[in-house]
């Protein structure tokens, strides 16, 4: 007989949520419980991005574009981002990413 399923839901633990800029530099970070849905962490993370100095012009207070995985595929999050002028690229549930993005895997 084996032990409990190691990927069971509703267990203790924590998750680290990050927003990074395109080269991987962290802009905002947060920690949540393992039993909290990923979508609930997005709004506090975006609000936590500090003003960033650009090469020209004023400091940016929000990202121009946000890429996210399928865990953030909810209409209320898309509306919230759109309302703040943030272009979103969120993967859709039920659609394979290679099909959605038009990429092919060569083996």
Tell me the domain boundaries of the chain: 15-94
What is the pLDDT, as a whole number, of residue 104? Answer: 47
What is the pLDDT, as a whole number, of residue 101? Answer: 52
User: Which residue shows structure tokens 């209320």?
Assistant: 76
CB 52 within 8 A of CB 59: yes
Q: Which residues contact 91 (CB under 8 A, 6 or more apart)?
A: 68, 69, 70, 73, 97, 100
Residue 31 has a CB neighbour count (10 Å cut-off) of 10
Q: What CA–CA distance (Å, rounded) separates 102 from 107?
A: 16
User: Residue-wise pLDDT tens for the chain (107 aa)?
Assistant: 555 655 655 567 898 999 988 888 899 999 998 888 888 999 999 999 888 777 777 777 778 888 888 888 999 999 999 999 999 888 888 776 655 455 544 44
């Amino acid at each position: 007989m084996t032990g409990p399923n190691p990927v069971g839901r509703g267990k203790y633990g924590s998750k680290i949520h990050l927003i990074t800029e395109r080269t991987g530099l962290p802009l905002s970070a947060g920690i949540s419980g393992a039993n909290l849905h990923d979508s609930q962490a997005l709004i506090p993370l975006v609000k936590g991005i500090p003003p960033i100095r650009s090469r020209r012009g004023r400091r940016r207070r929000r990202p121009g574009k946000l890429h996210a995985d399928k865990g953030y595929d909810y209409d209320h999050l898309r509306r919230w981002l759109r309302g703040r002028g943030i272009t979103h690229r969120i993967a859709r549930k039920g659609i394979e990413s290679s099909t959605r993005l038009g990429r092919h895997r060569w083996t």
